[in-house]
A and B are shown apart, each in its own frame.
Chain A
């Protein structure tokens, strides 16, 4: 089964609102990463949070990590129509670096 599971599966909000996506995983991790994928395109790396970190910020993005609950959240503040995409969390639990991806959250931001 997937290491990462995300919810919600789909999210639709108005421009300017905040969007929160959650990711849960099963095993201990080295790090957790969030990626964005526009329809039919490749993946864009957003942020990496290490297992000993609790929160990271990058521009309008805020990621939290709770290793006791094996969960992470991605918050996009003041969303824009250009944020419309699928967002995936991925965990690195091995010593080889292979990533295990969640099913993704599809975000639609309406102008």
Chain B
């Protein structure tokens, strides 16, 4: 059973370009979470999705950022018109269920975005 897959592992973009980050959850997991980690900091929650639904996007910047988790295929975190401050590691995690005492999340290796 493969773990959470993320690609690309490293992404370089120039200011103003778009960044697309992909996450394939573990087999059987229908809950996906995206987190962002700035250098020397902890992870910050961005968005929680189930198949075809955004459940909680309270951590997502209001502009330029969007996320989806279609019925088929990976979850996508999309950042439009990137700025230098978007440079960070973006981690995806998946879980077989949401919330409750047993919610263990499995993390992917992350995508490190560098904006030039």
Chain A interfacial positions (CB closer than 8 Å to B):
2, 4, 30-31, 33, 35, 40-45, 48, 50-52, 88, 90, 92, 94-104
Residues of B within 8 A of A102 (CB): 42
B33 within 8 A of A: yes
Q: A95-B99, A97-B98 are in contact. Are A104 and B42 (CB under 8 A)?
A: yes
Assess whether B100 is in contact with A97, with CB atoms less than 8 Å apart: yes
The interface centre, meaning the residue of A35, A44, A94, A96 with most chain B CB atoms within 10 A of its CB, is: A96
Assess whether B45 is in contact with A99, with CB atoms less than 8 Å apart: yes
Q: A30-B100, A41-B109, A52-B101 are in contact. List 8 more A-B contacts (CB 8 A).
A: A43-B107, A88-B42, A95-B98, A97-B103, A98-B33, A98-B45, A99-B43, A101-B42
Q: A41-B109, A43-B91 are in contact. Are A97 and B31 (CB under 8 A)?
A: yes
Q: How far is the CA of A42 from the CA of B105 in the complex (A)?
A: 13
The interface centre, meaning the residue of B41, B43, B97 with most chain A CB atoms within 10 A of its CB, is: B43
The 6 closest A-B pairs by CB, nearest first: A101-B42, A42-B109, A43-B107, A97-B103, A95-B99, A97-B98
Residues of A within 8 A of B99 (CB): 30, 92, 94-97
From A40, A92, A96, give the contact of B55 (CB < 8 A): A96
Closest chain B residue to A52 by CB distance? B101
A86 to chain B, nearest CB (A): 9
Assess whether A88 is in contact with B108, with CB atoms less than 8 Å apart: no
